[in-house]
Amino acid sequence: MWAGLWDTIARVTGKPVKFKFIHGTGLRAILVDGNKPQIDACGDDLVHRNDPKISGITETNPQIIVQYIIRTCTVHLDR
């Protein structure tokens, strides 16, 4: 799901999606509803997009790296 989203955005805009914690510029947060499989899948994708030489982040655990960017919607959090 995530790879498809980022790849589609890149195809449509002609520019790859960048993430602030990886590239120093770009998306600062991804707002989700707190669904664990959704978050795990995002972490899996981000691990493959991370370049430690650029980001300085050597973490390879998807459940840790996703914490740099995922935020839970407050409505879903309250529920």
Which pLDDT tens digit goes with each residue over 35-73? 899 999 999 999 999 999 999 999 999 999 999 999 887
pTM, two decimals, is 0.83
| Mean pLDDT for the stretch of residues 25-35 | 91
* C-alpha span between 56 and 71 (Å, rounded): 22
CA 9 to chain CA centroid, Å, is 14
Band (79; pLDDT cuts 50, 70, 90): low
Band (6; pLDDT cuts 50, 70, 90): very high
